[in-house]
Structure 1
Amino acid sequence: MVLLGSVFIIVGSVLMGSCFERVQMMIGRVLTGIGINYASFPKVAPVYQSEVCFASQRGWHVCCQMTMMLFGLMVAYWINYGLFFCSSVLQWRFPLLFQLIFAVYILIVTTFLPDTPRWLMWNEPHSNRGIAVLAKLRNRPIDHPLVLQEREEISTAIQLESDEGRSWIDLFQDRGVRANKRFHLAIGIQFMQQMTEINIITYYGPILFKENLRMDKKNALLIGSFLHMWYIIASFLTWRIIDTVGRRRLLVMMAIGMSAVLVLEAICVAINNRASSIAAVFFVFAFSILIYSLRTRWMACVWVYPAEILPVTSRAKGAALAAGADFLGNFLVAEITPPALQNIGYKTFIIFVIFNVISATIVWLFYPEMMGLSLEEINFMFLRDDSTDQPHDKFYQRLQWHMVSKAWTIIAEVKAGGRYPIDMSTQQHRSVQRGSGRISCEHV
């Protein structure tokens, strides 16, 4: 997918950068969009990282990737600022053609990346390629006990879900592993990311500085470029805490922090005099500190979360639809923000304050913590054993807070003993009860 996406981006960039007609530009833009959908961070990278990283390093790896993404945004801003002084067609052709550098790089580098062990064990169950890649990723021999244990856990998880098929409809069914609930959580976290107004400065910073803070266009572009330099510096601070503080706490803390700064920003824009403009610039920088936190905490969390929480057999499909929810929210925010700033001014910020408070509440009540858990331990957390549950237990398990508290219990067990002792009797009973016979005593 990444290789195909890179080819689309290369062709689309060439068409846009060399275009002389509107139709050529439109075709190039469509091809580039398709390529980004195939090869970009939102859909492929989080799934790939979640399946090759150690459980204790998933968040850190995504934070590293977020830093590189912020670096790309910074480069784009400085290119725009530099070409502001250019009056030739190079002003718009060069940025469009500049994309080729990164697309060609991705095309070359990804040819050396292996398929993930889980994908290989799922699609090639009789091949040794999966365990060979797993051993190489863990830097241990194939017969090492830890490698063999992880392979057994992956194989058992795959066998558990193999009876359910691989269709898109699986995402909307319980299937005994609460697949539908997990899919709803993945969709929700992605959509909430955009509704926190995370892109208000990234997309419309120069417009905000120019129209609301009375800056000229040159200074507005310059401030936006410096803000993105700060994002790079500040993003390093979250490399460690993502896997020590946890996803839930960071999401809630950052949503509340964003709400506070948006309130202050709204006050400064509402007053609309020179003193308030200076204060507004200050709070924009404070807002940038929070937006880096959002990009390396909110965004790092929300991009890794679907890949962590979704079942292995529907992980790619679910992550793709979750990314679609993010793109939908992105589209809505991109469309409504400019007219909102123009027509209702500071009230735009208040609307997104409300969204942030709602998002923080939803995350706290409904989203379990995934920090430090392997994908198999996460899968076990959502297993349903209808054969032994009493009626009141079933009602309690339907409440999402049950998942939240259960996640903390598993994390405590992992911290105390290194790995959670996964009891596969539930899986065995469920499979035998269905009459599949695929998971026998030898497997568990």
Structure 2
Amino acid sequence: MIHKVTPRRPTIAPLLKYMLRNGHGHEHDLNLVTWISSTTFVQDPIERDKYGLPITKQPEEPLNELIKEFEEQSTLHKGKAENLYAHYVISQHPDDRRLTQSEWYELIADYLQALGYDNTCKHAFIEHSEKSHNHAHIASSVVKSDGSIVDNTNDVLKGFDVLRKYEKKFGLKQLSSPERNWGKHYSKGELKAAGGSREEAMSKDWAARIRARFKAIEIENGGKLPDTMSKLVLALAKKGVAVKARQNEQGEITGISYKADDGPWISGSKVKASRLTFQNLQSNENVSYVPERDNPALLGNNDLKVNVAVQITKAQYKHIKVLKPRLRVFRRNKKQYASFTFYNSKKQREFAELMDAILELLRLLFDSNYGIDDDELLFYFSLEENFEYEYINQGISTYDVSDSVDALDNLLVEHKRWIGNFNHCETTHSLSWTHESTENELCVN
């Protein structure tokens, strides 16, 4: 079974007429409309003959009385809410047997209770059986007897839990809820933006592409995802999905994002919150995470930016802008700086290019490197993609820096003579980081 939760509405009359009459947006054969039950004093407003068949011309008074009873219930609410009526539709699978009236009542009563309703709310349950699948409409006031209104948070997921329960109890075709499969419940607004087509909505949804590839991996892996984070990252890479993890200041992974092809990075909570967040991959999908084993795979796509900045004068700032070398100039706190930016990648470009660029700046500004105030040479780093400052000169080359600690250590030894070219200063400026249990420093002395 599936269900549909529609947006709440300010009036009830159009809905009840739609459900119980012809000519109101839905041409029903009233013989195929069944009154299941209600919590109203007014009962079935369809007039029937002695054989139980609806008469040709239906009187309007019974239906008007039903509408009035719903409206009177809503006057109990003294708050500011305006949309005080709800409409739900529960549909059987075409292969299901038709539920009896008592079965419908049991299911719907449990369904509404799960959504937060009680018997003081006004409800009416009506079955329509004119389509290939039987379905029930539920009209309800969301106002309780104390004047409060029913909270509609997570109505969709709460409703699916009840449907799964009664599929099993009544021997119906058992489906999986969206939080456990790879589907998505598109809102009415999302469908409207896509021209009313679910297929069109999916085609514009990059997250849908990522979910489809997770589904393919699950099928290929015997109905489950790979059992370690490293294996999962590898399986996704083979499907064209990149993975990027986020870390806190302590270096602990706090989140995960995915990117399919040339699409945007999307957080796990937006791709599939119930399954694909970093925590739910472990708790719900049984994907094991061991930092020492899996961090290289999870963090391999992070871009570590190493930045070096030297404070300069206004005249030097203008001079650099004219020459346009391989560096950036920016202002901060009414001071001018020239800086370099280098990116981490797996290509393992030589770290010496960083030193080349620093020496280039020195050659442009000074006959020698004497006169640089040691306190004006800054090192800083960031794991974010956006720079903290507004840079003026965008004409800069970027270089790849080895993401291997061993390779980086070797490069530091090889370029010791470059580091020695700097003046001996009383203060040491260093960029430090920790990889597993080994601490490494890049120092300018």
| Fold match (TM-score > 0.5) | no
Larger-gyration structure (1/2):
2
TM tier, shorter chain? under 0.3
Tell which has more relative contact order, 1 or 2 (C-alpha 8 A, sep 6+). 1
Query: TM-score, normalised on structure 2?
Result: 0.22
Q: Which structure features the higher share of strand residues?
A: 2
